Structure 1
């Protein structure tokens, strides 16, 4: 998984799903955790945006397929309205590549199928709430590797030339799933230096988080599907 550092403190969470039984199940499960507090529920995308604006949650757990406004549109508005303070974790019963790509492009930091185990869900909530990306290797390979080149690139190719050699190296390693500590070890530099490079490349490419960094690495051709991680 990309992103292994978890949130400390109580995670104020919004759960949005149009299926009442599913929504209640998620709420009840998450409420069993001392570090997670449910601050709102929503049955559709419009309600999710409204409740998020009222409660300012740390994390919004959104179903992709909802009436009136789908989860991707809701995610985009929630992220914009909170200035990125609210993190978004997407849930769906559908493993369609296009939905995953669109969710990440909208700014979602994590994506899980609804058949994920309870421990996997808890881990995802904590990782995404901490501001990290959580993408399974399967999603990284299938979605970003296949769909980025099939669509018009969000980033002009010349953007790659704006990165220093070291920044490009760091971006490649982020796309391959390495943590900051692993990047530091691989490049024989300090954690602080890694963070400096990440901040600079994020600013140059106008990236919000590591999920978008993965997409950017593929869009710029720095990483391709099937590349080895060694």
Structure 2
């Protein structure tokens, strides 16, 4: 197994200003950072160039066109493996997550290096009702397709992944590269035998925040992800039965 050597991975699309604030707040932890420019327009590219100039040690991966969160994560994981990192802590660029939890999550990953260490949201009064409802819907379906109650939250983007299973997933699997990504990688890695632990993360929704969620398109994508996961669950049912009752 690789020596524990984590990196923070931040996919960035249209959140240049917020990302600059996020990087300024986490640079104190002395953990390497990979930013992925997910085919941004010039305004966001300008912010990313400023971040790179200010914090010269961080890595900036640039995609020629927008690939979605999953596509940006894939590019970042591939680069992380090339650079020899053992784990990636995925952090959203919009500043919604409580970044002060980074040291805690890194410590948990260090003590359980084969597991995914995932956040579940602690909402404040800014959380829209439809967001809470969406999380409950996704969590219910995840319990069905994994035959497990281990998934406390399927959508929170604050996670630490061991590099090897994450790399195998993004290079060998066909997966949704947009809003279905966080759910699909979590479920598929669990189905492949990667264990998981969940811990709370405070989540805030700024009133002037930029959302990349498109209601019709992304709900269709998420529905397709669950359809695919249900089909895989049925095909894997003998394996899941063995794990549940005999492992």
TM range (shorter): 0.3 to 0.5
Greater RCO, CA 8 A, separation 6+: 2
More strand by share: 2
Task: Give the TM-score taking structure 2 as reference length.
Answer: 0.35
